[in-house]
Amino acid sequence: MSKRIIQTELAPAAIGPYSQAIRIGDFLYTSGQIALDPKSGKFLSGEIKEETEQTLRNISAILQADGLELENVIKTTVYLSDLNDFVQMNKIYEKYFSKNKPARACVQVAALPKGAKIEIDAIASCSS
């Protein structure tokens, strides 16, 4: 099975030695996304709601680069620097995953890149 690197200018460039996503077989695996603006590359530090919105827009852009949508996502992992942000994050998350809710894990971590409040990675199914 061959793997294909997924890259788009509509999502932030990788800030390390990794790809935005990898497609292998019928699955696409995104790298963790934070609230980076894809045009400027700057981190959009703010409230958890704003960071969650930008993070999910970045994931959506990566999926679209491979012809997929958020509805194709089957699993996410949400990393929060403060689990007290869970309720506010969940309100935004639910707007993006209102129809086909993927499986999800959510954990609190000690720190995230750029001082982010949230990071999310996703696994999507590429089969119909």
Instruction: List C-alpha distances in Å: 47 to 31, 52, 76.
Output: 22, 9, 21
Task: Identify the three-state secondary structure at position 124.
Answer: strand
Helix (H, G, I), strand (E, B) or coil at 38: coil
* Nearest alpha-carbon partner for 4 in 68, 97, 58: 68
Query: Distance (Å, rounded) from C-alpha 15 to C-alpha 84?
Result: 27
Which residue, chain included where needed, has tokens 């942000």? 85
Q: Which tokens belong to 91?
A: 């309100």
Residues taking part in catalysis? 106
Strand partners, 103: 75
